[in-house]
Amino acid sequence: MAVAHVLLRCDQERYWLRTAAARIGHLFPGLPSRTVYNRQLRELAPQMPATLTVSA
């Protein structure tokens, strides 16, 4: 979900979490709360550059 956040160019996390359900909710039926998403994003931050390089 964090990769989609970057690739869809949503700059604000608050905006992203509000619109994620409408845009990609069918892919993620159990969208996390803002707190959980934040924690998961911090844990995955070191791996994000490699993931985005492979995806692009």
pLDDT in tens, 43-55: 988 887 877 676 5
For 6, the domain range is 2-55
Distance in angstroms (rounded) separating the CA atoms of residues 42 and 37: 9
The model's pLDDT over 10-35, given as tens digits with 9 standing for 90+, comes to: 778 788 888 888 887 888 788 888 88
State the sign of the Cα–Cα–Cα–Cα dihedral 17, 51, 28, 24: positive
Does the pTM exceed 0.75?
A: no
Domain count, the chain: 1
Kindly calculate the radius of gyration of the chain based on its CA atoms and give it in whole angstroms: 11
Tokens of 46: 């070191």
Tokens of 38: 């934040």
